[in-house]
């Protein structure tokens, strides 16, 4: 599952805007991308959005649910 959320970095900790739909003690991989201060980087943002949508379609599918069930055992 791929989820994109905004967070604030404060005192060495990322503070999320709200809870995530994860089970307790779930291991995750975090990619940090700072938000550009201006709209000058719009092409890069468009490519990142397209890449994220493609990755979500590839990874977030019911055919892989069996693997998640095996991980829970």
- Residue 47's pLDDT band (boundaries 50, 70, 90)? confident
Residue 12: band (very low, low, confident or very high) from pLDDT cuts 50, 70, 90: very high
- For the chain, give the mean pLDDT: 82
Q: Return the DSSP state at 14.
A: E
> Is this prediction's pTM over 0.95?
no
Report domain extents, the chain: 7-72
Question: To which residue do tokens 């000058």 refer?
Answer: 40
Q: Is 25 left (phi over 0), alpha (psi -120 to 50) or beta?
A: left
Q: Which residues make beta-bridge pairs with 13?
A: 10
Query: Taking residues 33-49, what's their average pLDDT?
Result: 73
């Amino acid at each position: 599952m791929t989820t994109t959320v905004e967070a604030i970095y404060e005192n060495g900790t990322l503070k999320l805007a709200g809870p995530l739909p994860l089970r307790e003690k779930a291991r995750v991989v975090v990619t940090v991308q700072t938000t550009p201060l201006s709209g000058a980087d719009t092409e890069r943002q468009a490519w990142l959005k397209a890449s994220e949508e493609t990755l979500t379609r590839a990874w977030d599918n019911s055919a892989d649910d069996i693997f998640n069930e095996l991980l829970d055992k």
